[in-house]
């Protein structure tokens, strides 16, 4: 009997240890070679919504030569806006044009608004999923970031989905990072890339843009040997006024002439990449004109967002299209 109890206790301890490993990052701190204390940090950066398992996701679509990646800043997309079917239809129409869309401006105490939006997108037979990470200490009124992607076209490495650490509180909204790979091609041929989704606070733009320069370098040099890093989102400035971020060697903007707001007065949303490393960029990019494409009035377009979706096109093949 004693042995049976002991065995049960050992199994329980093992399960608890496994749970501890998966739920927390364990940091051991030493002084003069002696363990002083252990710090447990919740793995809030691991999103359970990030990726479907291999047996749940849909089959890969027939390979296409290119993919398009977009970014769209919403103006507090919440329960109220979700209740307007016309708004949801437009957002579904925008998302359906791209393989990956980085979203900013989502609002709500949890991810339900985002997940219900994607349910609407998928009601037409599509297969989009989300990569998102909402920290438990976020206030309900604060907006958050997410990435939406077509599961038939790309896959996400769920263990890379995280919010950038910012212990000095230099960024009002911590950038969301996720690594992707094109599906339908042999793994060694498929384009792999890391997205860094950002939303700069206009009131703190100068300092935040300087901090994002460090974020770009940190993600690029994180040890995964992924040189195709694409920072995208709302920068609260055009490509000529990015501070230290604009001084990162070889950094280029996909959008350089077109305005990215509904009123056509500013260029504050963009995709930034290393022109030497990301040779997969086809140099094709653009801005979605919501009013023209969906036949909207200015007021209706503004009710969705003051910003327009912007996009850039990339080869589906690592290193560019194969030479035959």
| CATH code, 47-315 | 3.60.10.10
Question: What is this structure's pTM?
Answer: 0.83
Q: Any residues with CB less than 8 A from the CB of 307 and at least 6 apart, and which?
A: 72, 73, 74, 75, 234, 260, 261, 262, 268, 269
- DSSP secondary structure string, 9-28? HHHHHHHHHHHHHHHEEEEE
Cβ atoms of residues 52 and 129 within 8 Å? yes
Using pLDDT thresholds of 50, 70 and 90, give the confidence band for residue 16. Answer: very low
Using pLDDT thresholds of 50, 70 and 90, give the confidence band for residue 118. Answer: very high
Using pLDDT thresholds of 50, 70 and 90, give the confidence band for residue 57. Answer: confident
How far is residue 298 CA from its own chain's centroid? Answer: 28
Spatial CA neighbour of 190 closest among 28, 7, 318, 40: 318
Q: What is the pLDDT of residue 3?
A: 55
Q: What is the pLDDT of residue 32?
A: 44
**Three-class secondary structure of residue 308 per DSSP:** coil
Give the integer Cα–Cα distance in Å for 319 and 233.
24
- Locate all alpha helices (DSSP H) within 104-160, ordered by sequence: 112-122
Does residue 91 carry a pLDDT above 90?
yes
| pLDDT tens track for 191-242 | 999 999 999 999 999 999 999 999 999 999 999 999 999 999 999 999 999 9
**Token representation of residue 67:** 């993919």
Q: What is the pLDDT of residue 199?
A: 98
Please state the domain extents for the chain: 2-41, 47-315
Residues across the chain? 324
Q: What is the pLDDT of residue 320?
A: 86
Q: What is the pLDDT of residue 142?
A: 81
User: In b/e form, how buried is each residue of 237-268, taking b as 16+ CB within 10 angstroms?
Assistant: bbbeebbebbebeebbbbbeeebbbbeeeebb
Does residue 73 carry a pLDDT above 70?
yes
């Amino acid at each position: 009997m004693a042995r049976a109890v002991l065995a049960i206790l050992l199994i329980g301890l093992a399960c608890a240890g496994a749970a501890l490993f998966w739920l927390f990052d364990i940091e051991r701190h030493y002084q003069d070679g002696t363990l002083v204390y252990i710090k447990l940090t919740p793995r809030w950066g691991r999103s359970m919504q990030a990726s479907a398992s291999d047996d749940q996701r849909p089959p890969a679509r027939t390979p296409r030569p290119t993919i398009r990646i977009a970014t769209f800043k919403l103006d507090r997309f919440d329960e109220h806006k979700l209740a307007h079917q016309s708004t949801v239809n437009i957002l579904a129409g925008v998302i359906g044009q791209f393989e990956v869309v980085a979203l900013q401006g989502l609002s709500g105490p949890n991810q339900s608004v985002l997940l219900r939006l994607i349910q609407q997108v998928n009601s037409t037979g599509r297969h989009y999923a989300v990569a998102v990470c909402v920290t438990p200490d976020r206030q309900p009124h604060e907006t958050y970031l997410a990435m939406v992607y077509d599961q038939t076209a790309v896959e996400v490495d769920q263990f890379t989905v995280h919010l950038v650490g910012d212990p000095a509180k230099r960024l009002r909204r911590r950038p969301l990072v996720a690594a992707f790979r094109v599906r339908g091609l042999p793994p060694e041929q498929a384009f792999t890339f890391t997205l860094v989704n950002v939303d700069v606070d206009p009131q703190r733009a100068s300092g935040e843009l300087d901090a994002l320069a460090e974020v770009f370098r940190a993600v690029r040099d994180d040890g995964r040997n992924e040189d195709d890093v694409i920072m995208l989102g709302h920068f609260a400035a055009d490509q000529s006024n990015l501070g230290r971020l604009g001084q990162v060697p070889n950094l280029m903007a996909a959008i350089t002439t077109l305005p990215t707001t509904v009123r056509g007065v500013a260029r504050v949303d963009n995709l930034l990449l290393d022109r030497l490393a990301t040779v997969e960029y086809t140099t094709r990019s653009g801005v979605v004109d919501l009013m023209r494409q969906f036949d909207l009035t200015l007021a209706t377009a503004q009710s969705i967002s003051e910003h327009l979706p912007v996009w850039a096109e990339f080869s589906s093949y690592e290193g560019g299209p194969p030479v035959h």
